[in-house]
């Protein structure tokens, strides 16, 4: 049986109702709204189109995933949302405000934990708050005194099993512990919207499964608005309220999945026949996109189009 989003309309309605009841009022503007984002990198006299008319929404308190082939443009999209790159077309709105090209409005967790080796775990966790801009954030933070912030961060470290490592330096922590510290740094940053770029991809399978469960519990307690990049279909289905499936480069949204499983979710749902069916359907979508990308690489000319002298503006 082939399963498509339309087959799950009743689940989608239930999901909408749950969202409306437990999260924010339906009138609240989305935490993030991408509207028709397009970007091409200029390479000498050619253009590499990377994103093509990408639109998506993250409602307040939603966990949304982006999944797409390697090299399709996912990290580039995060750089655009973070204001590091300007799209050639499209707008970015956060909580109803146009933020296109503006920096400092998101908290970000990269693929590698990126902890400073000369700072203790606690001081690394506090870094997101130190570096946050003191104005113009989409959600105004309540700034506590440094003492209070340290106390709060210590409590969080205790909660995630890192209490004893507060004064330790990152090289003494395992990969999973470093990722937990990096996640806490993003979580304690004052910006409401979190972007997580393949945070578990460098971890071994068991640690990764533990981290997924840990993230589920953390997120279910805190309900921040999250946009999460992953390569793993299972991870996306386990964690997300909605999944946007991107095409091969130039990336556009080819499928949107409203994930039908109720929360709280635990590892057991991966054995549910509906979960397995969705996994199979999404795997075939992803395989299609990968084949397109492989074909593209064999025929590299097709992505490097010649551009006229008055081509698109150079971005940063």
Please report, as ranges, the residues that interact with ligand ADP according to CB under 6 A. 41, 48, 50, 68, 70-76, 249
Q: Are 47 and 304 in contact (CB under 8 A)?
A: yes
Closest separation in Å from C-beta 70 to Mg ion: 7
Contacts 24+ apart (CB under 8 A), 172-180: 173/121, 174/207, 175/113, 175/202, 175/203, 175/204, 175/207, 176/203, 176/207, 176/210, 176/211, 178/113, 178/115, 179/113, 179/203, 179/211, 180/211, 180/214
User: Which partner, ligand ADP, Mg ion, none, binds residue 29 by CB below 5 to 8 Å per kind?
Assistant: none
Closest separation in Å from C-beta 125 to Mg ion: 24
- Minimum CB distance to Mg ion smaller for 201 or for 213: 201
> What tokens were used for 283?
């795997």
User: Which partner, Mg ion, ligand ADP, none, binds residue 41 by CB below 5 to 8 Å per kind?
Assistant: ligand ADP
- Closest residue to Mg ion in the complex (CB): 75
Binding range to Mg ion, per CB under 5 A, among 69-77, 128-136, 155-163, 216-224: 69-77
- Minimum CB distance to ligand ADP smaller for 71 or for 163: 71
d(CA 89, CA 98): 14
Q: Are 130 and 149 in contact (CB under 8 A)?
A: no
> Could you please report the per-residue DSSP string of 3-33?
--GGGGHHHHHHHHHHHHHHSS-TTSPPSEE
Binding range to Mg ion, per CB under 5 A, among 59-67, 71-79, 120-128, 166-174: 71-79
- Minimum CB distance to ligand ADP smaller for 26 or for 70: 70
d(CA 283, CA 293): 15
Closest separation in Å from C-beta 38 to ligand ADP: 13
Q: How many CB atoms lie within 10 A of CB 26?
A: 10
User: Which partner, ligand ADP, Mg ion, none, binds residue 70 by CB below 5 to 8 Å per kind?
Assistant: ligand ADP
User: Which partner, Mg ion, ligand ADP, none, binds residue 76 by CB below 5 to 8 Å per kind?
Assistant: ligand ADP
- Minimum CB distance to ligand ADP smaller for 82 or for 170: 82
The strand pair at 89-94 and 97-98 is best described as antiparallel
Closest separation in Å from C-beta 71 to ligand ADP: 4
Alpha carbon 221 to its chain centroid, in Å, reads 18
- Minimum CB distance to ligand ADP smaller for 48 or for 218: 48
User: Which partner, Mg ion, ligand ADP, none, binds residue 50 by CB below 5 to 8 Å per kind?
Assistant: ligand ADP
Closest separation in Å from C-beta 35 to Mg ion: 22
> What tokens were used for 42?
């200029």
Closest by Cα among 137, 84, 61 to 106: 137
Q: Are 27 and 299 in contact (CB under 8 A)?
A: no
Name which position in 75, 100, 120, 201 contacts Mg ion (CB under 5 A): 75
d(CA 33, CA 56): 6
Closest separation in Å from C-beta 82 to ligand ADP: 12
Closest separation in Å from C-beta 74 to Mg ion: 5
User: Which partner, ligand ADP, Mg ion, none, binds residue 141 by CB below 5 to 8 Å per kind?
Assistant: none
Closest separation in Å from C-beta 295 to ligand ADP: 15
Q: How many CB atoms lie within 10 A of CB 119?
A: 14
- Minimum CB distance to ligand ADP smaller for 23 or for 75: 75
Contact residues for Mg ion, defined by CB under 5 A = 75
């Amino acid at each position: 049986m082939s399963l498509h989003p339309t087959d799950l309309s009743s689940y989608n309605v239930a999901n909408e109702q749950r969202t409306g009841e437990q999260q924010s009022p339906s009138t609240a503007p989305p935490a993030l709204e991408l509207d028709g984002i397009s970007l091409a990198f200029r390479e000498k006299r050619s253009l590499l189109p990377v994103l093509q008319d990408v639109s998506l929404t993250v409602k307040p308190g939603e966990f949304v995933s982006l999944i797409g082939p390697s090299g399709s443009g996912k990290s580039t999209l995060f750089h655009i949302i973070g204001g590091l790159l300007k799209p050639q077309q499209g707008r970015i709105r956060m909580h109803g405000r146009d933020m296109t090209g503006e920096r400092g409005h998101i908290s970000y967790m990269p693929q590698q934990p990126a902890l400073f080796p000369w700072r203790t775990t606690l001081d690394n966790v506090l870094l997101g708050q130190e570096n946050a801009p003191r104005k113009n954030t989409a959600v105004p933070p309540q700034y506590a005194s440094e003492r209070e912030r340290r106390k709060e961060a210590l409590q969080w470290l205790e909660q995630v099993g890192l209490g004893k490592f507060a004064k330790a330096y990152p090289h003494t922590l395992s990969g999973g512990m470093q990722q937990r510290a990096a996640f806490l740094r993003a979580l304690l940053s004052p910006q409401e919207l979190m972007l997580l770029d393949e945070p578990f991809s460098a971890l071994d399978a068991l640690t990764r499964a533990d981290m997924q469960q840990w993230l589920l519990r953390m997120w279910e307690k805190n309900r921040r608005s999250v946009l999460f990049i992953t390569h793993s279909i299972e991870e996306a289905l386990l964690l997300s309220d909605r999944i946007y499936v991107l095409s091969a480069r130039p990336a556009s949204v080819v499928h949107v999945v409203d994930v039908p499983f109720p929360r709280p979710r635990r590892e057991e749902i991966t054995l549910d026949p509906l979960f397995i069916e969705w996994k199979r359907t999404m795997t075939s979508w992803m395989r299609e996109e990968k084949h397109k990308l492989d074909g593209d690489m064999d025929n590299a000319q097709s992505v490097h189009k010649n551009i006229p002298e008055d081509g698109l503006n150079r971005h940063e």
